[in-house]
Structure 1
Amino acid sequence: MLRLMPVGDSMTIGSAGEHTWRYRMWQHLCATYGGPFTLVGPREALHDKATDTDTSYAYADPGFPRSHLAGWGEGWLHMADAIEDAVRTCRADVLLVSLGLIDLGFYTDPEQTADNVRRFVAAARAADPRVRMAILPVIPNIRAEADPAFATQVAHFNELLAKTIADLDAPGSALLPASPPPSYDIHTDTYDGTHPNARGEHRIAEAFATALHQAWDLGGPYTA
């Protein structure tokens, strides 16, 4: 059985009442992947905005494998310390990673964030030398639109991320750069300029699905 682990921040964990892009990805693979698969991870909850804690289970549709490694306000900095145990315990084969906005916004500069990407990859491989990873760059968000200096930081990190992925890609443990969602528009694909609405969930799932299909022949073309 193929075991995929979504790894991310608030855009991946989602909040109460949402489907999440994880659900959209599961739907896509149910329709296009020819073998058994599941989503894995040490966590299952959504973010509860009322209490500002990751404790809600109020999914719009709870009928899917809800496991993940994602957290509201967490980034590469945090996941680099959590990924080794998560991969080992959950026996993940493929990581679907969407991180970086939180790091750049609150914790680390582009170079430091890229260093944490390297720590993350090394830790995941320490748990399983054959683990594969599809990695999404930082996608458009309202802070980058409103703050040119921050937009420059995001663009610089995305360049460093692409180089890091190329440097660390290895036979038997591939690193796959996923392209940003096509035509992603923060005004129509998010509800607050950052977090995806239903349309945005599909677009993020599509970004991962397209990368997996084109590079690894895993699943098929994405259809909402």
Structure 2
Amino acid sequence: MSTRTRSPLTAVLALVLTVLVGSPAAGAAPPVLHAEPTRVMALGDSITGSPGCWRALLWRDLQESGHQDVDFVGTRAPQGCGFPYDGEHEGHGGALVTEVARQNALPGWLAATGPDVVLMHFGTNDVWSSRSTEEILGAYDVLLGQMRTANPEIRLVVAQILPMDAPNCPECAQRVVDLNASVPAWAADRSTADSPVLVADHWTGFDTDLHTYDGVHPNADGDRRMADTWYAALTPLL
């Protein structure tokens, strides 16, 4: 049997690889690669941000169920909800989604925070301000386009928004019904394999008498329901 000797160049290359890679010890476990946390932005108006304690409940639920690789992001700081939580968010009290789209506000928020997933409950103030369903969905289109420009693989969960029972806006209740009826088809038409658009149903079973303190904004029971709904929609994306 002949013996093949290594050339000097081969020996040098082997030495370099040993230095760079290292020689695994016998029986040693392979190195563990830790994935980056999923960055989640909650986007909307005061229902999301003032103080939006459904976000605190959602974060705690995720932590307690083993989803600890989640980073809530946004340019706005958390508010007190009774316990520590990862509370950065993009909830802007009084904001209209149609105005956020018109003012081109979202790209700056996206650039500052780099979300992988957006949870969007937006349109309540537009309904209050008599913006039509078509105008609101048009604003959703603008925002979704901006999200995909920032991250072509962004995942959007869009809400069928909370019902409204506002004495100063008797027409609002039906406007919410009309908007929510259009959301599933809007989402299905725009969802792609690379950038899915899913729907979170915050409408069904939500009672403004039981779950809000003013016919619009959630109370503690409403926050609990919202957190549960978002949890069910978000966890398959993690």
Settle same-fold status: TM greater than 0.5.
yes
SS at match of 1:194: coil
SS at match of 2:42: strand
The one of 198, 223, 229 aligned to 1:201: 223
Q: Is the 8 A contact 2:74 2:88 kept in 1?
A: yes
Distance 1:42 1:62 in 2: 20
Correspondence for 2:31:
none
Residue 194 of structure 1 aligns with an amino acid whose one-letter code is: V
Distance 1:150 1:61 in 2: 32
SS at match of 2:41: strand
Q: Is the 8 A contact 2:72 2:86 kept in 1?
A: yes
Offset at residue 78 of structure 1 (A): 3.5
Distance 1:217 1:173 in 2: 11
Correspondence for 1:74:
95
Offset at residue 193 of structure 1 (A): 1.2
The count of residues paired between Structure 1 and Structure 2 equals 200
Distance 2:165 2:215 in 1: 5
Correspondence for 1:20:
53
SS at match of 1:7: strand
Offset at residue 146 of structure 1 (A): 7.1
Matches for 1:205-224 after TM superposition, within 5 Å: 205-213=227-235, 216=236, 218=238
Structure 1 residue runs of 5 or longer lacking an equivalent are: 46-56, 219-224
Distance change in 2, residues 1:26/1:79 (3 Å): farther
Matched, 1:93 2:111: no
Larger Rg: 2
Residue 2 of structure 1 aligns with an amino acid whose one-letter code is: T
Distance change in 2, residues 1:145/1:136 (3 Å): farther
Matches for 1:51-200 after TM superposition, within 5 Å: 57=79, 59-61=80-82, 63-80=84-101, 81-106=104-129, 108-143=131-166, 147=170, 149-180=171-202, 182-200=204-222
Distance 2:109 2:199 in 1: 21
Q: Is the 8 A contact 1:189 1:198 kept in 2?
A: yes
Q: Is the 8 A contact 1:181 1:204 kept in 2?
A: no
Distance change in 2, residues 1:114/1:133 (3 Å): same
Distance change in 2, residues 1:103/1:33 (3 Å): farther
Structure 2 residue runs of 5 or longer lacking an equivalent are: 1-36
Moved over 4 A (4+): none
Residue 226 of structure 2 aligns with an amino acid whose one-letter code is: I
Correspondence for 1:50:
none
Q: Which moved more, 1:160-169 or 1:121-130?
A: 160-169
Cα displacement string for residues 111-143 of structure 1 (whole angstroms, at most 9, x for unaligned residues)? 111100100100111111111011111211213
